[in-house]
Structure 1
Amino acid sequence: MKLNYQVKAAEAGLTAEKVLRQNLGFSRGMVRRLKRTGGVLVNGQAFYLNRRLQEGDLLCVNLHFDEFTDAPPQPIPIDIVYEDEHILVVDKPPDMLVHPLKHEPLNTLANAVLYHYIENNTEPVFRPVSRLDRNTSGLVVVAKHAHAGFRLTSQLGTGELRREYLAVVHGLVAQKQGSIDLSIARCRDSKIKQMVHPDGRRAQTFYNVEEYLAGNTLLKLRLTTGRTHQIRVHMSHLGHPLVGDTLYGGREEGINRQALHCCRIRLLHPITGGPLVLEAPLPEDIRRIFNKI
């Protein structure tokens, strides 16, 4: 996979490294790897990155580094919402890990994506930019190469990559919209459970009431941080745990997992810079909650 870029008049006289770092957004680590591998050609010729460019020069950057992810590919169907040569966005079902674990190496999103990559002659490296709990469904963004991964991860920090969720919570949330800015830390007596704690890492969640459901509330939520179990912990702390989320005080009411779904992602394409808005409909098990009510 290669990235071609023509030097503009305003960039004439800059070194190739400066154009890569400042204008194309390559990380320091990626530039070091390009130096080691001779991964940049200018006008079809090998080129030292400390040399200066001229207007109209054509940079060709190799984005492939013969890497691989040590997970066995499996022919598991995946629901692809968007794909091009730089990114993949999938609608992950519930009851699926994103990454394999030592004691659970199979049937994860990584296994499925790697099989898809191999079938389509794509570098077999799994680089998820956003992640979801096993039992949270919805959109997951995956970068197909290290440069796209760096650019998209940077967008998480700036808020340009925005994740929106739908959740069904117990009780009627009185305030129609609001924000929760409470730090989260791991519970000392648990390897999994998190809690609101002043010594934890800052976590911020915005929410809007979408609909009242006869004793429950459908919320749309947006994250500006990505702490473990963030929505689940914040809503439980407010006295409105998610339906089905027994770890944080919820009750199983027609669903045996937390009723949480990443329904929309907004981002800037890591190469073109164009905006992308991608959506995933509510899965069947959450829709059944509505039918039951």
Structure 2
Amino acid sequence: MIYRWQKQDACPQKLGNFLGRQGFSKTQLKKLRFHQGQVYVNHHRRYFNYQLQQNDEIHVVLPQEKTSTKIQPLAGPVTVLYEDDNYLLVNKPAGLASLPVMNINSATLANYVKSYLQTSQANNDVIHLVSRLDRDTSGIVTFAKNAYAHSLLASEFQTTAITKEYDAFVQGKFSQDQLQGQICAPIGVDCHNHNLRCVTDQGKWAVTKYRVIRQYSNFTWVKVQLVTGRTHQIRVHFAYLGHPLVGDEAYGGRHDLLSRQALHCCRISFLNQPVQKRVTVRAPLPLDLKKLLHSED
């Protein structure tokens, strides 16, 4: 993969510092230097202490990444929502894990994506999962196609540059003064079950915004936007409000209406930094959630 820039300002700057400002970490710069990466200024190989001038053209050729045998390629369905040279966003169905778990050999989305990358003749089949979803949550999952693109987008997830929206169907009804708002409560590991989370003063601060779309007799449809990204955040916060997700038995939800938690990542918007373009991707409601809505017709 090749990345290109042109130095715009007239202030002298060392090449290494310039690349650092483009998002290359010290570790990535070491890999460029010692693992067959190549850096050119005006078509000449240069070292990081080279002094750049205005209008210099910088080309970086990333080193080839070593594939991992921990994730084997498996042929399977991959529903692509967006793809370019840097990122691949796919629509994950409920019931499929994002990544393999130790000592469990069942197929995962990562296995399918690795096979997809190999058959699509991508430059790299190494799996760089930027955002994952729980096994029983459906919707948008984001992969990067190399370590540099991964680090750029991962840094955005630590800021408000990314918006991530979910459709959630929760039990009960909301009063008129609760039709939109935000849930601010710290989330930590449940001391009774380390696989679950709970609201606790010892947890990390978490903020979830929501707005009610429609109220039904047995549940309410809400749009949810994450401000922070804690494990099980939406599930924990709505259970804390007394409105657990439909089908989410782990956090007190009823399972007679749906056999999995009624949660779907429906939209993500981010700045594609390598091409300086805002990208917005949407995933339609899956069939089981559509049937849940029609059950109230």
TM range (shorter): over 0.9
Alpha carbons of 1:50 and 1:105: their partners in 2 closer, same or farther (altered >3 Å)? farther
Report the Cα distance in structure 2 between the residues aligned to 1:265 and 1:125, rounded to whole angstroms.
23
TM-score (norm 2): 0.94
Worse-matched range after superposition: 187-196 or 57-66:
57-66
User: Alpha carbon RMSD of aligned pairs, Å?
Assistant: 1.3
* Residues 74-223 of structure 1 mapped to structure 2, 5 A cutoff: 74-122=74-122, 123-174=124-175, 175-223=178-226
Q: Is the 8 A contact 1:12 1:52 kept in 2?
A: no
Alpha carbons of 1:58 and 1:105: their partners in 2 closer, same or farther (altered >3 Å)? farther
SS in 2 for 1:29: helix
**Number of equivalences:** 291
SS in 2 for 1:85: coil
Report the Cα distance in structure 1 between the residues aligned to 2:243 and 2:264, rounded to whole angstroms.
16
**Structure 1 residues 78-98: Cα deviation after superposition (integer angstroms, max 9, x where no partner):** 110000010000011000111
Displacement of 1:12 in angstroms is: 5.3
Displacement of 1:187 in angstroms is: 1.0
**Structure 1 residues 172-224: Cα deviation after superposition (integer angstroms, max 9, x where no partner):** 02201111111111111213111100101111100000111113100000001
**Structure 1 residues 95-150: Cα deviation after superposition (integer angstroms, max 9, x where no partner):** 01111012223411110110011112221111111110000000011111111111
Q: What residue is the counterpart of 1:234 in the other structure?
A: 237
Q: Is the 8 A contact 1:242 1:260 kept in 2?
A: yes
Q: What residue is the counterpart of 1:15 in the other structure?
A: 14
Q: Is the 8 A contact 1:2 1:64 kept in 2?
A: no
Q: What residue is the counterpart of 2:280 in the other structure?
A: 277
SS in 1 for 2:31: helix
Report the Cα distance in structure 2 between the residues aligned to 1:196 and 1:119, rounded to whole angstroms.
44
Alpha carbons of 1:119 and 1:239: their partners in 2 closer, same or farther (altered >3 Å)? same
Report the Cα distance in structure 2 between the residues aligned to 1:96 and 1:47, rounded to whole angstroms.
46
Report the Cα distance in structure 2 between the residues aligned to 1:16 and 1:44, rounded to whole angstroms.
14
Q: Is the 8 A contact 1:169 1:241 kept in 2?
A: yes
Q: Is the 8 A contact 2:11 2:54 kept in 1?
A: yes
TM-score (norm 1): 0.95
Kindly provide the amino acid, as one letter, of the partner of residue 104 in structure 2: E
Choose which of 249, 254, 268 in structure 2 pairs with 1:251: 254
SS in 1 for 2:72: coil
Report the Cα distance in structure 1 between the residues aligned to 2:50 and 2:105, rounded to whole angstroms.
46
Q: What residue is the counterpart of 1:33 in the other structure?
A: 31
Report the Cα distance in structure 2 between the residues aligned to 1:134 and 1:45, rounded to whole angstroms.
48
